[in-house]
């Protein structure tokens, strides 16, 4: 008897995220795993910049805005304002920012290290293959349109299918 196991493997996709010119030491891994009713997102990141409180007009550095962007293109482009090729937020259901399918919780740095896991029912692991993940310099306010005022793009990774 022969069993085809490919259909009962849980879908999994992942990305390795790498820092650009504003955070060259940054590296991270994100895994998207199919679970009952949606996707579990597991994140581990090293080399985030040190937290800096807001000063006058300047936004705080961290906790870091964190989203899926629509283009799977992590070309650095302008080193002063990197990763513009990743485009805007992935927003397949045309929602306001704060409820985009790829709006994630902010990343909190612990001396540069962040680890987080969360559940979403807004996409399955395969739906985000070929998109990118961006880590921003500033916090996401989940309110300003179209991207939560989270500032420059520190790091980028293209999502690929694992299973």
Residues 100-159 that bind Cu ion (CB under 5 A): 134
Please report how close the Cβ of residue 66 comes to Cu ion at its closest, in angstroms. Answer: 7
Q: Which of 77, 57, 134 is nearest to 103 (CA)?
A: 134
Check binding of 74 to Cu ion (CB under 5 A): no
Please report how close the Cβ of residue 6 comes to Cu ion at its closest, in angstroms. Answer: 33
Residue 34 or 84 having the CB closest to Cu ion = 84
d(CA 50, CA 67): 20
126 phi/psi in degrees, rounded to 5: -70, -25
Part of the chain binding Cu ion (CB under 5 A), chosen from 21-29, 51-59, 61-69, 121-129? 61-69
Query: Which of 67, 100, 131, 152 lies at the binding interface for Cu ion (CB under 5 A)?
Result: 67
d(CA 99, CA 143): 10
Please, which residues bridge with residue 58 across strands?
55
**What does the binding site for Cu ion look like in residue numbers (CB under 5 A)?**
67, 134
């Amino acid at each position: 008897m022969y069993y085809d196991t490919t259909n009962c493997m849980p879908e999994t996709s992942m990305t390795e995220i790498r820092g650009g010119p504003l955070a060259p030491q940054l590296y991270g891994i994100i895994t998207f795993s199919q679970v009952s009713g949606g996707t579990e997102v597991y994140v581990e990141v090293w080399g985030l910049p040190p937290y800096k409180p807001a000063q006058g007009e300047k936004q705080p550095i961290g906790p870091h805005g964190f989203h899926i962007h629509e283009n799977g293109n992590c070309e650095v482009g302008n080193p002063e304002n990197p990763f513009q090729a990743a485009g805007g937020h992935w927003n397949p259901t045309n929602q306001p920012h704060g409820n985009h399918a790829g709006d994630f919780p902010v990343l909190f740095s612990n001396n540069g290290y962040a680890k987080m896991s969360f559940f979403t029912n807004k996409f399955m692991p395969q739906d985000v293959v070929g998109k990118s993940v961006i880590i921003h310099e500033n916090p996401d306010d989940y309110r300003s349109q179209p991207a939560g005022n989270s500032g420059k793009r520190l790091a980028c990774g293209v999502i690929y299918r694992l299973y």
